[in-house]
Each structure stands twice: as C-alpha cells, then as structure tokens.
Amino acid sequence: MTDEIKQIDQLVKDAKTIVIIQADNPDGDSLASALALEQILEDLGKTTHLYCAVDMPDYLKHLSGWDRVSNEMPSNFDISVIVDTSASTLLEKLDASHYKHWVANRPVIVLDHHTDVVCDITYATVVINSSEAIATGELIYMLSNQLNWPLNLQAKTHIASSILSDSLGLSSEGTTANTYQVMADLIGSGVDRPALEEARRALNKMPEIIYRYKAKLIERTEMYADGRIALLTIPHEEIMTYSPLYNPAPLIQNDMLQVEKVSVAIVIKNYKDGKVTGSIRCGHGTTIAADLAKHFGGGGHPYASGFKIEKAKSQLATKAECIKLATDLLENIE
C-alpha cells in the first residue's frame, strides 16, 4: 500500500461529510465514478454530496442517480474528492465561485487516470493518477480492494458503466487485461451488462433535430493531410442550440473515424468570447491525441484527449496550428 493510499484511507476514516466533485465537462466516467464513490462512502457511514458546476447533459441521464448531482455545495463538510480530472482548467467554474474557498481550505483527494496531465490543482492534498486504469471507475475499484471498502451491487454497476464509457465498450487501445478481469469480476458478482447497454442505448437515442444536424456536420467535415485528418468546427450559435440536446463531438467523431484513411478526428468549438475547445480521437495505431492536446495546454490519453484555450488570439489561427501539428505528429509516427 502506497503512502498516498494510506493517506486517503485516513482522510476518509476521519471525515463525516464528503463532497464528490466532477469537472465542468462531465462525461460517462466522471458521473459513474462519482455515483460509485457515493455508494461506497455512504456504506462506510459517511454523508455525501455530489457536486458539478454544470448541469448533467441529457445523454448521461441513463445513469441512475444523475439527478442527485447539484451545482450547490454544502457549507459544512470535512473533505472533498475530485474525480476524473487533475487539470485546474476543467474546474474553472468551481474556482470562480465562492465554493473554491470552502474546498481549498479542507483536505482534497484527486482521483484520476489521465496520466498525460500533471496535476495543477494547487489545493490538492493527495493525488492518485493511475496509468493502470482505463477509467476513474477502475481506479476506484482498485482502491476499494486495497482499502476493504464495501462494494454493493449498485456501486459495482456504476464502476462497470464508468469502464464501458471510457473504454468505448472495452474496444479502445487503453483497455488492458486487468480491465477485462475487473469487468469479469463485476459481471460475475451480479452486474447486468446487457441491462446497462440497453439503458444507454434507450437514452442515447437522438431527437430528430439532432439527426438532421448530424447530416449537416458530416457535410461540413474538412479533410487534411491526404485524408488522414478529419476536422470539424462548431460555431458558438450551434453550441448554444444543440449541445443541451447532444454534445456535437461524440455525435460525430466515431463516424469521422469510420471514413477510409482517416486516423485522427478533431472537433473544435469556437465560443463568442474567444474561448476554443478541442476534442481529439484517434484510430488504431495513431497515438497522437495526448501530444496534440498537450501543445494547447490540455491532455488525456494517446487515443482520446482534449484541450481548452480561454482566450485564443485567433480562432482561425488555432485551427491552422492544430492541423499543422497533427500533420507533423502523423508524419513522425510514419
């Protein structure tokens, strides 16, 4: 048992009330791992509060318990646990609120698996960023085994959802033999994977307006580097109109990677205040996502990463720089 794990064990034992925090871009892993941790901590006799500065997107509402996540935080708690991020840029809404003072003045545990990102959360007390876990849920499963934390069936189900989300259904390059073993253990102990998949599919069905919007995105997709890079830009107006219904990046990126020759799919969002965000997904054998994101201050996995620039000098220049760097990284691989 490492010193960090021992420290987490003691912090949790000493705490009565614990806040579980997600980043400003909640996804299947962050929500499911937060819900799993909620179950574990409450079985340990703790009072928990789930916090996220933004509303849960509709496509995550197949996860039972999503409605317990609040953008309000209790004033009285003992420690907080940040799940699925080590980057302060993904906690900007928290940092801009009065809650930041409450969190920063109490012990903070950070649980993450994005090892390409060095934790820059200055108020973190203890950080575990595991390269062995495909998802934060898998990391929580590993911690539970080491610390003898209880895992009821609901917690195990959330952990399975977390793993399936970040491993793309156990199909991504980062899926390890240990991931398969964890999933086997979870299913063997009662997790109903087919039921999870059915729930995900039922609530991931898109409204007709999104179906037709997807056709427009396909039409607007640009190809670079002899067809190896597929890139799409989403303007501010579309972000405001369509993102509450369905995030444009996951809506289109898998399809982009299904095009012959395409090995990198990039979706850039341009906001009217000058902010630029980028979502990067790579196909088999193309491990440039983390390096590309890192150049713009982001990070993630070799096959799936993202970045955010708060005030880009030029959104067009950022796009051009992204294309050039992606092309250079592809050429280095070759």
Pairing of the two strands 17-21 and 47-51: parallel
Whether 30 and 156 share a structural domain: yes
Q: Helix 136-147 crosses helix 177-188 at what angle (to 10 degrees)?
A: 70
Report yes or no: 124 and 110 within 8 Å, Cβ to Cβ.
yes
Half-sphere exposure at residue 268, Cβ-oriented, CA atoms within 13 angstroms: 27
Quote the pLDDT of residue 304.
83
Range of the domain at 297: 208-333
Structure tokens at 99: 């809650």
Segment of 41-55, 108-122, 167-181, 275-289 carrying the highest mean pLDDT: 41-55
Q: How far apart are CA 1 and CA 118, in angstroms?
A: 22
Whether 65 and 136 share a structural domain: yes
Q: Tell me: the pLDDT tens digits for 76-91?
A: 999 999 999 988 888 9
Closest CA to 224 of 262, 188, 182: 262
Tell me how long the chain is: 334
The torsion angles phi and psi of 127, rounded to 5 degrees, stand at: -125, 130
Quote the pLDDT of residue 246.
84
Rg of the chain on CA atoms, in Å: 20
Whether 38 and 131 share a structural domain: yes
Last residue of a domain, one of 173, 201, 229: 201
Whether 233 and 196 share a structural domain: no
Q: Tell me: the pLDDT tens digits for 294-320?
A: 899 887 778 888 898 988 889 999 999
Total-model pTM: 0.79
Q: How far apart are CA 69 and CA 89, in angstroms?
A: 21
Quote the pLDDT of residue 203.
61
Q: Tell me: the pLDDT tens digits for 187-202?
A: 999 999 898 888 777 6
Quote the pLDDT of residue 204.
66
Whether 242 and 193 share a structural domain: no
Q: Position of tokens 């970040």?
A: 166
Whether 165 and 294 share a structural domain: no
Report yes or no: 61 and 30 within 8 Å, Cβ to Cβ.
no
Q: How many domains does the chain have?
A: 2
Query: What's the rounded mean pLDDT across residues 248-273?
Result: 94
Whether 265 and 127 share a structural domain: no
Whether 141 and 236 share a structural domain: no
Amino acid at 177: A
Quote the pLDDT of residue 266.
97
Structure tokens at 313: 């000098």
Last residue of a domain, one of 176, 201, 226: 201
Report yes or no: 88 and 275 within 8 Å, Cβ to Cβ.
no
Q: What is the dihedral of CA 100, 75, 48, 93, to 10 degrees?
A: -30
Q: Tell me: the pLDDT tens digits for 204-222?
A: 678 899 999 999 999 999 9
Whether 20 and 148 share a structural domain: yes
Instruction: Report the b/e string of 194-210 with b at 16+ CB within 10 A.
Output: eebeebbeeeeeeeeee
Pairing of the two strands 229-234 and 264-270: parallel
Tell me, what CATH number does 273's domain have? 3.10.310.30
Structure tokens at 63: 């996860």
Report yes or no: 182 and 141 within 8 Å, Cβ to Cβ.
yes
Whether 50 and 101 share a structural domain: yes
Whether 212 and 178 share a structural domain: no
Half-sphere exposure at residue 30, Cβ-oriented, CA atoms within 13 angstroms: 26
Structure tokens at 37: 């941790």
Quote the pLDDT of residue 152.
97
Pairing of the two strands 299-300 and 276-282: unpaired
Tell me, what CATH number does 107's domain have? 3.90.1640.10
Last residue of a domain, one of 182, 201, 220: 201
Whether 221 and 85 share a structural domain: no
